Chains A and B, each alone.
Chain A
Amino acid sequence: MDFSQQIAQYIVTGLTIGAIYAIVAMGFNIIHNATGIVNFAQCEFISLGGMFMYSLVVLFKVNLIISFFISMAGVALIGALIEIGPIRHARSKEIIVLIFLTIGLSEVLRGTAQEVWGTDNVGVPAFSGENPIHLLGGATIVPQHIWIFAITVLVMLMLHYFFKKTLMGKAMRATAVNRRAAALVGISVNRITLFSFAFSGALGAVAGIIIAPISTTSYDTGIMLGLKGFAAAILGGYGNFAGAILGGVILGLLESLGAGLVSSQYKDAIAFFILLLVLFLKPTGIMGYGEAERV
């Protein structure tokens, strides 16, 4: 492989992982915009998506497509339960308290997952075979990469449609901008919050499901992916949807190129280095905060 082929390969890999980060970042943003909090249980949504998929496909031999949707729905339900239970009934509504609560919930979910599935990394079959496809630049790509791109693009298009065209999506944006005004037009802020947790659960699950065939999955794969998705969200501008995509892609590319060209030892450090850099230099991220202006 010559140098340009290598670069092309890093770019393909970087875009793939960047797509995953973008989806995860979206999950963070949706809950942030509805509630103002950072939901660290987002990490567990990713792990659970992967592990549900593994259980259904590998252990119970359920059809792939059906497994995909059941896993997604299952994690969405867990997201909803988190909101209905602990988040909604927390005595204190202080943002910082709720964030800590999500960290606690994250621990509980991860502990439970460990009890259920153990600590092994397990594989999930690729959606459509493993035969590499050769691309123009000399890079090769396995079909799962294409699935990841396609599903990510589809998810982004659906999110765009949802937030720009449907009344529910507009109501979610309105709630993010001004909760009191949202209540005054009859939007149930509780319902929006519940919905945002379910929604983020589904998004986290999708990320965990589509990456599992490439990187394997375990009870705690979501931690690293989740934190990097969080970094991507910060990089793009927390709460900003276009920023999530941009942040995810940039982070994925830098990580992949950095690992390839500098040293793979620093792969994980790159994301957090960038995170710190952004927080230092431009805390609002590349695109600025989202529409949310808390009042």
Chain B
Amino acid sequence: MLKIDGISSHYGGVQALDDISLALEEGEILALIGGNGAGKTTLLNLISGIIRPSQGKIVFKGENIVSFSPERIVKLGIIQVPEGRHLFGPLTVRENLELGAYRRRGKQNKKKISEDFKYILQLFPVLEKRLNQRAETLSGGEQQMLAIGRGLMGKPVLLLLDEPSLGLAPLVVQEIISVIERLRKEGTTILLVEQNARAALRISDRAYVLKTGKIQLQGKASDLLEDGEVKRAYLGQDS
């Protein structure tokens, strides 16, 4: 569905990604794990058209989208839930969700959008009570749920999740993980970026390990969970 082919990226003179290639199959969860500064966010922003690569191709359903504008990429159904959430803080929860459906604006989608709205409140019931509150007044966990909800309002064909569990309490992480699993069951293809490698690998089909801009390892998620190097570098000692 998505093929990244020989992508390199620079910030000024500093290289962030070095000749990355990866492929994402329809319907799978692909995990991208790696430490801080490995280049995970950079890769997602390249896919979303927020930044441009210095070389390489990004092919989505047979089309090279590497020069597309962010809004054109969103129109294709490639939707990113960014690291740090990037909500519209002073706008209400409801407005944030409505804007999530911006790419589908127009009369013909009205009914579907309001169904999706209900569906998202069912996924994240805490949001229902907060609909008329400013997004910035929510707790961290609620904000992450809203960020994912806003992403889902765009009806993603491919969902890019950038560290959805970052800084959240274990219980909230659990809730978000189970939502991700549910989305997969319902047919959404997901690229899941995480530092929380254990949780990510448990729910993913395959995974890539990124280290200082290069792909270090790749394979079935279940194999990587048992891999000695991954265990040592990303899974910690205790568990």
Point out residues on A near B: beta carbons under 8 Å: 167, 170-171, 173-174, 177-178, 180-188, 291, 293, 295
Contact = CB atoms under 8 A, between A and B. Distances in A.
Contacts of A180: 50, 82, 86
A185 B82 contact: no
B71 interface: yes
Given A167-B98, A174-B99, A186 B88 contact: no
B86 A184 contact: yes
Contact of A173 (B69, B88, B154): B88
Contacts of B75: 186
B48 interface: yes
Given A177-B90, A180-B82, A185 B100 contact: yes
A185 B50 CA distance: 12
Contact of B89 (A177, A182, A188): A177
A174 to B, nearest CB: 5
A174 B100 contact: no
B87 interface: yes
B107 to A, nearest CB: 12
Interface residues of B, number: 25
A182 B70 CA distance: 10
Interface of B: 48, 50, 69-71, 74-75, 79-80, 82, 86-91, 95, 98-100, 102-103, 105, 150, 154
Contact of A184 (B79, B91, B105): B79
Contacts of B86: 178, 180-181, 184, 295
Contact of A187 (B50, B71, B80, B90): B71
Contacts of A171: 99, 102
Contact of B154 (A182, A183, A186): A186
A170 B71 CA distance: 16
A184 B80 contact: yes
Nearest to A191: B71
B198 to A, nearest CB: 28
7 closest residue pairs by CB, A with B: A186-B74, A186-B103, A183-B70, A291-B90, A181-B86, A174-B88, A188-B71
Contacts of A181: 82, 86-88
A187 B102 contact: yes
Nearest to A170: B95
Contact of B102 (A167, A177, A178, A291): A167
A170 B70 CA distance: 19
Contacts of A186: 70-71, 74-75, 102-103, 154
25 contacts: A167-B99, A170-B91, A170-B95, A170-B98, A171-B102, A173-B88, A174-B88, A174-B91, A174-B95, A177-B88, A178-B86, A178-B87, A178-B89, A181-B82, A181-B86, A183-B71, A184-B74, A184-B80, A184-B86, A185-B154, A186-B74, A187-B71, A187-B99, A188-B69, A291-B91
B102 A185 contact: yes
A103 to B, nearest CB: 30
